[in-house]
Amino acid sequence: MWEALKTHYAAVHGREIKNLFDDRRATEFSARCGDLLFDYSKTNIDSAGRDLLIDLLANAKVAEKRDAMFSGEPINMTEGRAVLHTALRNIDGEGVYVEGTDVMPAVLETLSRMERFAEDVRSGAFQGAGGKITDVVNIGIGGSDLGPAMAVKALSPYHDGPKCHFVSNVDPADIAEVLRGCDPATTLVIVASKTFTTIETMTNARTAKAWMGQSVDDPAQQFAALSTAGDKTSAFGIPDAHVFGFEDWVGGRYSMWGPIGLSLMIAIGADAFKAFLRGGQAMDLHFRSAKWEENMPAMLALVGVWHNQVCGYTTRAVLPYDNRLARLPAYLQQLEMESNGKRVSIDGQDLTVDSGPVVWGEPGTNGQHAFYQLIHQGTRIIPCEFMVAARGHEEDLHHQHQLLVANCLAQSEALMKGRSLEEAMDISGKLGFDGAERERQARHRVFPGNRPSTTLAYPQLDPFTLGQIIALYEHRVFVEGAILGINSYDQWGVELGKELATALQPVVEGRESADGKDDSTAGLVTFLQKNGL
């Protein structure tokens, strides 16, 4: 299958994307899910190429793997676990079984407990030492931070609860700056760690507890834990009623649909949080039922495979023209790169094609004044994934939103069309240049064009829509991983650094010698110690 795709790419890669357009292309090379529109017509994929890509799905048995995931089979084979974050948003669905047990009653009970706790915090029934809670500090890292931090910012127009802050970095500057703006007596601290042993999270949790203990008699009463380690949360002093656990079939980077989303629920309320879940559930239903050529997660994944594994484009830029999605690129970095950044297949054999691309991005229009120069005129092609809403939440500034949309659509058009030397010569001539200088000036104004992009459009960023978008990208990860034959749900690549950091800590603290370390590491430790470490 890969050879057929490579052969097809070799035959078409030099053609102009703009020449593929007729009055049907935009419709035929797009997919819809509810009010979402995914347009991939500004890519070099044609009908024959799409057919070959869809053949990959059959060859990799993606439909069967999809059904196995939703039915609770242990598709995380290196850890022997089911992958059922979808169950957390299955609030209107049927039972979901793991080893013969329906997990939905427990999921719904935990959701109900979260709702009661969140409402108590929001209403003031849950009080801190100083009365009603005004601030919530979520302490986590990775999936325990990136998801809720992204979603809280994305849904800020729906906030009517306490102000939410997020601490993730073990760098003391992170927690010091957050706590400096909070009152210990009216702050709730949420510690998000499934095992309650994550070193960065627990270091910050102890710092927050000490900070609160300076003015609150029993600070642990103003803590909540998102963890399954009841013995450890109890030892920390957190009441059982403030502890919300989740099963090992929920991976960290897929976990904000459940207890990890508690900070979001406190910020926007239970009804809006349920709308977020239902958005994810709607995308699940679409993914399970839509034909491949109309299936938005499948086509988003296949476009990614075309650009990365077939065309050889090693990065992709995620460019939301929606400032409240500023944290989405960072969230997707973990979701995609931790999931599909693997080098061996499920059976342990080296991959025969490249694994996932580098994912990065920034909201428009900020990015236009930062890195778009390289995207438009650099020597490497970077596929761009634009996102844009038909309307914002600032109704009195709708004309400004229209300018934002115009910028988004103009960028994808410019990437595709480019500017020829002839057109640039005309511009430089009008600027008064002639002769050799006219051509020299013109060459700086040439845009090669023929650079691919996709656009995801939606009416407005609300809880339901955000749920659809996040589930869309989760399923993209699944499809790409299934095609590559890898396990998208483990992350052994993060382990070695953790082990070495644990071994290095006593050396850094001066309790052990750096003997046995390489000269670079030993020299850096010595330099830092001499300079105040």
369 is catalytic: yes
Torsion sign, CA atoms 85, 88, 91, 94: positive
Q: Which of 64, 109, 177, 369 is catalytic?
A: 369
Question: Residue 362: phi, psi to the nearest 5?
Answer: -160, 150
Q: Which of 200, 247, 336, 338 is catalytic?
A: 338
Distances (CA, A) of 468 to 93, 457, 476: 16, 12, 12
Cβ neighbours of residue 104 closer than 8 Å, sequence gap 6 or more: 87, 90, 93, 94, 95, 96
Burial 294-315 (b: 16+ CB within 10 A, else e): ebbbbbbbbbbbbbbbbbebee
Three-state SS string across 429-497, please?
HHCCCCHHHHHHHHHCCCECCCCCEEEEEECCCCHHHHHHHHHHHHHHHHHHHHHHCCCCCCCHHHHHH
- Separation CA 498–CA 233 (nearest Å): 22
Q: Which of 13, 18, 398, 498 is catalytic?
A: 498
Give the DSSP H/E element, type plus range, for residue 304: helix 296-305
Three-state SS string across 118-138, please?
HHHHHHCCCEECCEECCEEEE
Torsion sign, CA atoms 417, 423, 424, 427: negative
CB distance 468 to 438 below 8 Å: no
Identity of the residue numbered 494? V
Closest by Cα among 386, 323, 326, 367 to 146: 326
Tokens 């053609």 belong to residue = 15
Beta bridge partners of 382: none
Which residues form the catalytic set?
Answer: 338, 369, 498
